[in-house]
């Protein structure tokens, strides 16, 4: 990890979508079909959906890396223009985010349940507490929106995120047989206990505090 790294979290916006598509493909290389830029645009307009991104900057606040550095500049800028021009929703040109994005998380608020639609950290930035930070943020949001619980699906073979979810008290609530279209793998349904229960609250607040203490020594979270 570089010294003086600062990570920030904010809601996702249209200009993030090209980088989010890259993060998604990096995180789920075998997935089929892949979400398209339009699927993320629709999510931004979906009133049930809440998406957040983590981005990083260097010490003086400038962007540490330029996303998608130009190879064949004229072609890429034209493609980027097409990609960023939101002609399907008629909102006009979208300015590409300058920040360097390293993670994304999304939930849908379904009545009183918060359903995690995606959570991913760039492979180059894993094991630095960023995935955990994304999970903390959406659990906090779910509580603020008075969700009863948080739930998600995860591939049976995808054991790393299962360890993260277990750390936060998710347990297996069921299985969706042949849920994934690409290889017909089963999904585990994992769910928290009642968010408002004293047991969940005390565990969550403790984990959140431990996360803050542990990682604030390495980088700035804001």
Ligand X SMILES: CC(C)(COP(=O)(O)OP(=O)(O)OC[C@H]1O[C@@H](n2cnc3c(N)ncnc32)[C@H](O)[C@@H]1OP(=O)(O)O)[C@@H](O)C(=O)NCCC(=O)NCCS
Q: What residues line the site for ligand X (CB under 6 A)?
A: 27, 119-121, 126-132, 152, 154, 158, 160-161, 163-164, 167
Shortest approach of ligand X to residue 26 CB, angstroms? 8
Give residue number: closest CB to ligand X. Answer: 131
Distance CA 142, CA 69 (A): 36
CA 129-48-32 angle, 5° bins: 65
Whether 168 is catalytic is no
CB of 52 to ligand X, least distance (A): 13
105, 116 contact by CB (below 8 A): yes
Q: ω before 18 within 30° of 0 (cis)?
A: no
Q: How far is Cα 193 from Cα 201, in angstroms, rounded to an integer?
A: 10
Closest by CA position to 207, among listed 139, 157, 150, 154: 139
Active site residue 153: yes
Cα–chain center distance at 137: 10
Q: Compute the least distance from the CB of residue 4 to ligand X, in Å.
A: 19
Catalytic residue among 113, 153, 179, 185: 153
Minimum Å gap between C-beta 28 and ligand X is 6
> Measured from the CB atom, is 94 or 135 closer to ligand X?
135
Out of 7, 55, 165, 168, pick the active-site residue.
Answer: 165
220 forms bridges with which residues in the sheet?
6
- Please give the positions annotated as active site: 153, 165
């Amino acid at each position: 990890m570089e010294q003086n790294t600062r990570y920030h979290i904010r809601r996702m916006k249209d200009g993030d979508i090209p980088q989010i598509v890259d993060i998604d493909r990096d995180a789920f290389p075998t997935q089929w079909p892949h979400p398209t830029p339009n699927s993320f645009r629709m999510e931004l307009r979906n009133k049930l959906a809440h998406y957040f991104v983590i981005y990083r900057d260097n010490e003086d606040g400038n962007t540490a890396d330029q996303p998608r550095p130009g190879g064949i500049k004229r072609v890429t800028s034209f493609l980027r223009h097409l990609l960023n021009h939101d002609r399907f929703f008629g909102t006009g040109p979208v300015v590409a985010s300058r920040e360097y994005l390293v993670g994304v998380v999304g939930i849908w608020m379904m009545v009183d349940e918060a359903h995690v639609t995606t959570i991913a950290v760039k492979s180059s930035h894993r094991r630095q507490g960023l995935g955990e930070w994304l999970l903390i943020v959406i659990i906090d949001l779910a509580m603020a929106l008075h969700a009863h619980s948080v739930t998600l699906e995860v591939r049976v073979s995808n054991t790393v995120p299962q360890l993260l979810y277990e750390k936060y008290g998710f347990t297996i609530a069921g299985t969706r047989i042949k849920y994934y279209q690409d290889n017909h793998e089963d999904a585990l349904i994992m769910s928290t206990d009642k968010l408002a229960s004293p047991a969940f609250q005390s565990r969550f607040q403790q984990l959140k505090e431990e996360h803050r203490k542990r990682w604030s020594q390495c980088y700035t979270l804001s």
